[in-house]
Structure formats: structure tokens, C-alpha cells
Structure 1
Amino acid sequence: MSDKNKKKNEGKVSTNQNECDSYQHHPNVSIGKIITKVPVVLAELTIQVNVDALIEFPEPVLEIKDIKKHVKLVQCRLLLPTNKLFIKGFVRKNIQYASPSMEIDQSTSTTVASDLHSLTVDIPFQTVTEIKRFLTKPVNPEVNKRNEFDFFVSKSLPTGFPEKDEFQSSDLSQFHQESTQHYNELPFCELISSKIIEWDEAIDRVPFPDSAPLGEGIFTKIEEKMVLDITLKVLQNQQIRVSSTTNDDCYHDCDESC
């Protein structure tokens, strides 16, 4: 078949997206008192973490243009059966800064040429706080148990002992044990929000080495003081009882009376 005939036989598909109607579907609801397993909020709290860090740049910096921040939580562990909450994470910082560039143009008494660069760093933090009031009491872990038991044995004594006496003890050639393991629900966290107040200050700023406008300088290190407020929820999967008394058709015609 020639290429011309192939092009004639090629199919074409076109579709039109039209608006369609939808209807509420009446769900099937179990009636009565039902036991379900759901995440339960144990506590909701705001934790304040103070951070002091030193950041070094790979090149001289003329000025900082912008800093974008994101909180990364890598550990949030409620140590049951205590009320101590262990927090560990990082603050991801993307720092946009201007760096002098002699390749663009030599600095003068009125101008400084620079490139716009960025540096991404992770500032670590960790703390331990106490949950003073639980919204819902956590289910404490059940302790594993191991119990050893023996069986009584009675044997005749060898020559040299009275004939009526017997050796009575447990059998040392056997080992018997009952063990129980519990697979407890581990509490977990959800990060809700974070707020950062920071102070960044150059600690090695020196005047510009060449001709430059008044007050211009360069630095490679900044000291950062940061107050971080983290709001989070502490949850645990628990079994709770819920009650449903009706499975009427209110879902079809929802109004204020329903």
C-alpha cells in the first residue's frame, strides 16, 4: 500500500465534552451501636524551639535578596507510658543572594556588578516537651510476658541412699515457657502549621576590596537566631463506639429540617 493510500486510511477521533447531570447516592449505613477503629486526637499543641546556627557561603556575598523557609519534621514520638514528646527535624532554607562578579564589570565608586545565586541548607533542631493535658487519654502499651514452668519428676535414688527415699525435683532436661506478645498502637503526629521569626547577621563583613560605592562590603558567614513555633496534633488509633439511629433518605433532599 502506498503512502498516499495509508494517509487516506488513517482514522481520526474527535470528542466533545458536554455537561451532564449527577444525582446523590444514598449510602448504606449500619444501624445501632458500632465499634470502629479511628485516629483519635490525644493532644494539639504549639511547641517553641530556639535555634542558633552559623551559615557559611561558598563565595563572597554582597547582600541577601530573599530567604524561603520550609519546616521538615522527621521525628515526633510520644514516649508511652510517659507524657514526654520528642521532636526532631530541619528548617530548609533557600537563600537568594547577590555575589560580586568582576567578569560582568569592574566595580566603580558608583556601581557594583553582581550575579544572583542561591544556597539551600538544612538547619537541624530537636527538643523534648511535656504534654501537660491530654484531650483524650492514650492507650498505654500492654507489656509482653514470659512465664517459665516445670513438671514434677520422681526417681529412685542410686546405691548409698535409703531404699525408701526418692529423688524429687523438676526435669532439668526439659524447658517449658508461656509467652505473650502485644502489638500496641503507636501514637503519631500531624504537622498543622509553623511560624518562624529569624535574625540573620553577617559576622565577617569587610569593606569592598576594590573601588566601590560608600558602605558596600562583602561577607561569607552569617549567624542566625531563629524562634520556631510548631503546631501539631498527636494521634493514636483507638477503638471507639459510635451510634447510628437512622438510615433515612435525608441525603437525597438535604435541607435545614434534616
Structure 2
Amino acid sequence: MNNRNCGDNDCVDVNVTANIGECNNTLATPITTPAGERILRVPVTLQELTVSTNLVANIHFPEPVLEIKDIKKRVKIVQCRLLIPGTASANPFPAATTPFQLFIKGFVRKNIQYASPMPDSTANCVSSELRSLTVDVPFECVTTITSFLTPPQLPFFNTRSEFDFFRAQDLGVGFPEKDQLLSSDLSQFHQVSTQFYNQLPFCELISSNITEWDEAVDRTPLPNHQPFEEGSFQNLVEKMFLQFTVKVLQNQQVRVQAL
């Protein structure tokens, strides 16, 4: 390690180490909960399903394209929401065969690597530059989950209840002295409200599979008597069959037996 004076701003050079060796370790005894019945709040798998959808997109390139070299794809889910109704029942778990709708929204990120012809091409050879274009192809669909491995816990309704107190008031001038106004007091307001902070189901993306077909729709021969079989295009029609697997989960309290 380099020597430094303590008067310097940095007394130790942390970017240089004298030795990187193996560190010793010993097993530590973990602290566990006592044996017996316990209740854990853990993510519970409600269902795991494979969703299929179709996509069609028109892609325009900023310059002529000689040929497509490679296309890298990645599925991204931006919304995966299980629509479940509220319940006033003491048992918030519906039957496992109760259907619910799953709304899914996302896009396929595509990075297209392509060769663009250069103006100095000749009749014998074509010069080109490698370039790339990144586009997002959106999709949105709704699928129905007809059965669950574990039923979702339905949210409890919030409640608000008002109550009043009886009050007797004098009627004033123009009414018999012994008569009174019997009602509640409009100058007061009383309410009891209850809020439930329910657990929202969420999703995890497990895998995806894409089958695509890309076809140029405006391919024309290269100019200046370049090789007759060569051409370029700037517009592409893309058809995709998309399949992806998602896991729908919800944090629930589970009763387990600790050993």
C-alpha cells in the first residue's frame, strides 16, 4: 500500500490492496421460533398460467435497410391486476372455482440490428453500415382465471355510520309555552368509520415465448446498377404470437407447524 502523510486529505489509499486472500468462517447457530403452531404472512401462489396473445405492428426505419441482422426481444409487463370484489362476509375466501378477470398490459421491447447500404456501393459489391433500432410493441388483454390453487382473500368493505342524539328545544314566540321541538341537533355531527388495509394480489413474470414473422412491404432494387438481387426497404410489417407465463400471488396468513 502506498504511504501517505496524515496531513493529506486521504490517509489511506483504498483503491490499492496489499493482499486478497481467503477468509475463514465458522458456522453460527441461528435463532429459531419455538416449536408449535405458528401463523406466517407469506406470498401465496393463487394461480400460475400461460397467457397467449397476437400482435401486429408497422415499423418504419429512419434509413434504408439492406437486411436484418438480428432482433433481440424482451417482454415487459407494466400492469398485471386481478380484479376481485369486496366482501362483507366473515370468511373472505371464495370458492376455488369462482372466476375472476386478470388485466394484463405491457410491451415487447425489440432491438433490431440491420445493415444500411452505403452510397459508394458498386455493381460488384455493396458497402453497408451496421445500425440498430429499438421499438416498443404494446399489448393489452384480459384473461379469466376459472380456478385457483389457493383462493384470493377478498378485500373487506370500508364502513361509515352516522348517529345523532335526541334534543328538546323551545319553539319560541308564536308557539305554546309548553310545546317543544323534539328532534336531533343539526349543529352536531357524529360518525364512526372503519378502514381495512387489504392485501393486493400481484404478479411475477416467469417466462415468455415469441414466434414472429417480419416482412418488408416497400423493398426496391438498389440504385446505380448495383447487384440486381440486392434491394432496400424502410417499412416492415411484423406479426407476433406471444406467450408468457405469469404467477399470481397474494400475501396471506398461513398456519404452519414449527418443529
TM-score, normalization: structure 2? 0.84
Q: Residues 1-258 of structure 1: matches in 2 within 5 Å?
A: 14-15=18-19, 17-18=21-22, 20=24, 22-23=26-27, 25=29, 27-81=31-85, 83-102=100-119, 105-108=120-123, 110-245=124-259
Q: Hey, what's the Cα distance between the residues in 2 that align with 1:165 and 1:118?
A: 90
- Deviation per residue, 1:153-200 (Å, 9 max, x gap): 112222433444321011111111111111111111000000000000
Residue 26 to residue 161, structure 1, CA distance change in 2 (3 Å): closer
Contact 2:66–2:115 (Cα < 8 Å) also in 1? yes
In 2 relative to 1, CA 68–16 (structure 1 residues): closer, same or farther, beyond 3 Å?
Answer: closer
Distance 2:20 2:102 in 1: 56
Report if the CA contact (8 A) 2:199-2:250 is conserved: yes
Structure (1 or 2) with the larger CA radius of gyration: 1
What residue is the counterpart of 1:3 in the other structure? Answer: none
TM-score by length of 1: 0.84
Tell me, which stretches of 5 or more residues in structure 1 are unaligned? Answer: 1-9, 246-258
Count of residues paired in the alignment: 233
Q: Give me the whole-angstrom Cα distance separating, in 1, the residues matched to 2:165 and 2:182.
A: 11
- How far did 1:151 drift? 0.8
Inter-partner Cα distance in structure 2 for 1:202 and 1:42: 43
Using the alignment, how far apart are the partners of 2:50 and 2:210 within structure 1? 13
Displacement of 1:19 in angstroms is: 6.7
Q: What percentage of aligned pairs have identical amino acids?
A: 58
- Give SS of 2:149's match: coil
Deviations 1:70-96 (A, max 9, x none): 111111111112711111111111101
Distance 1:185 1:156, change over 3 A: same
